[in-house]
Amino acid sequence: MSDKKSFPEHVAIILDGNGRWAKERGRERTYGHQVGAANVKTIVRAAGHMGVKVLTLYAFSTENWKRPPIEVRFLMKLFKSYLISQLRELVEDNVQVHIVGEPSALSDDLRKEIAACEKDTAKCDGMVLNVAINYGGRMEIVQAVQQIAREVKSGSLDAESITEETISAHLYPSDAQDVDLMIRTGGESRISNFLLWQISYGELYFTPVLWPDFTEEELSKAIDWFTGRDRRFGGLTEDKK
């Protein structure tokens, strides 16, 4: 189990600070998103080289639709462009890609590229990359409960047999392990409705570094911080000896 190890197997990152990064340079917010997207490539490759098994990136939340329409349209085009331009490198790096979130609100073109990317990387058995687009932690749990309720109603699932593992199996992706380390860039100290079920015992690392400036060195710093933590999981330190 990952809780007995000093290295985080599942790292989740809230990519925050693109807009502020651009504003500090007198540029439009969209420019910050563009630079931030380029940095995703750097961090994905760095995480894989470091030995991270699962990397989950919070790219667009269900609440982000409230942003100006021009910014939302730019982000959707950026997601599509990233999937198209990076697919070959992801396959070469043996990265298996999953897009997590509610796809119904996404355009047909974007859903098509998502399906193609997931299909083309399905046989990759290196690091797993989850990209959360139109994702909300509460929505994820609600949808899981609804599906479980349907299975109970149909008789395919006994209500008395429902466990934590049952709920985990109905989240997306269903085979994702719990988060060991969650990183939020940009200086805010909140989790913003991200992976609420999966971070129950995860360590939370908040850094003032804005996402476009979050380098491989910064990722290494966060992992070094994690390895120094005493993860007791509700027990006492002496219980682990």
Catalytic residue among 64, 93, 120, 213: 64
Of 170, 132, 164, give the one whose Cα is nearest residue 55: 132
Cα of 86 vs its chain's centroid, Å: 17
* Known catalytic membership, residue 64: yes
Residue type, 217: E
Q: How many CA atoms lie within 13 A of 167 on its CB side?
A: 11
Catalytic residue among 16, 18, 130, 178: 16
Cα of 53 vs its chain's centroid, Å: 13
Contact 226, 203 (CB under 8 A): yes
CA distance 161 to 164: 10
One-character DSSP codes across 68-93: -HHHHHHHHHHHHHHHHHHHHHHHHT
* Known catalytic membership, residue 16: yes
Q: Kindly state the greatest CA–CA separation across the chain.
A: 60
CA distance 224 to 219: 9
- List the catalytic residues: 16, 64
